[in-house]
Structure 1
Amino acid sequence: MLFVYVIIAFVAGVAELFTGTFYLAAVALAALFTAITGLLLPGTILHWVFLGFCLVLLPAGMGFRHHLASKVQDLQDFDLGQGVDVIAGPDQNEHYTVRYRGSEWMAVVDDGPAPCAGDRAVIVGKTDNLLHLGVLPRQDAVKESLCPPSSSS
């Protein structure tokens, strides 16, 4: 009778590796604990022991999975606060082209003055593949601006 629970533990454990849920891991542990308990108790009550372990370990596995899922949702976006270089813009949609992580991204300015090519900005948010920027103030106010003169005068 013990070998049945060892086989159940092995099959459920291997199946858990392919599914990634904690339910089969709980069943595998329950079967393993039942097999160990079977060394001390008679085989006639092992089915009830297995059921008891399942009733305890399945909700514990569900709680553990919920706990891990809530931690994953609490992770911050590592792109926030990173610096980007403005390459071009704005276009007709007020989108800028910026260089970040070695590639070009589309971005909009959420905070600060309108940047021009060569300015630095910081990522303050992200919507899909669109970066939201906060523009850093220019370091050298004495230097002549690289931005073309605005036609709004």
Structure 2
Amino acid sequence: MTARMEIALHAAFRATLTALSRPGSVQPVPGAGDAVEAARLVLDAVWEAESPPVIVTGAPEPGEFLRVPNGTEEEPELGATVVIVIDADAPVTRVRLSGPGVDGELDIDLPLSPAVLAEREQACEGWPCGIDLVALGPGPQVVGLPRTTRIAVLEVD
């Protein structure tokens, strides 16, 4: 592995950790030209081949978040991490985030539909069980939404 690749992987690792520790913050993935390259770097930097995340390209299908494992009370670590590679034309939903890592509340736009966000909330209802989301894109950036982050869809005027 070249020194340049090691630096890019380290940067992708740090960006992902920062995104997950600061839910809703958009973190650039240095060394990536687009969301697909960012996803490759993040996947290589964070996950091992024997325990890969669930990868979704484009908009998640209805029910997709309800079909992935969300762990058990005894083994919450068995909950899936879903990595979504966002299309440039993905729907945008205004939401309010709260929970650990969020200073009070944070209003942001997420490139996920209200229906998908509702399914994610349903999958995370029985804490400590739940799923973690890592969204990449639409450019070379990452946003983390751990299972402890509450997401409320805001009404559109």
TM-score category (smaller protein): under 0.3
Instruction: Considering Cα pairs closer than 8 Å and 6+ residues apart, tell me whether 1 or 2 has the greater RCO.
Output: 2
Greater percentage in helix: 1
Higher Cα Rg: structure 1 or 2? 1
TM-score (norm 2): 0.24
TM-score (norm 1): 0.25
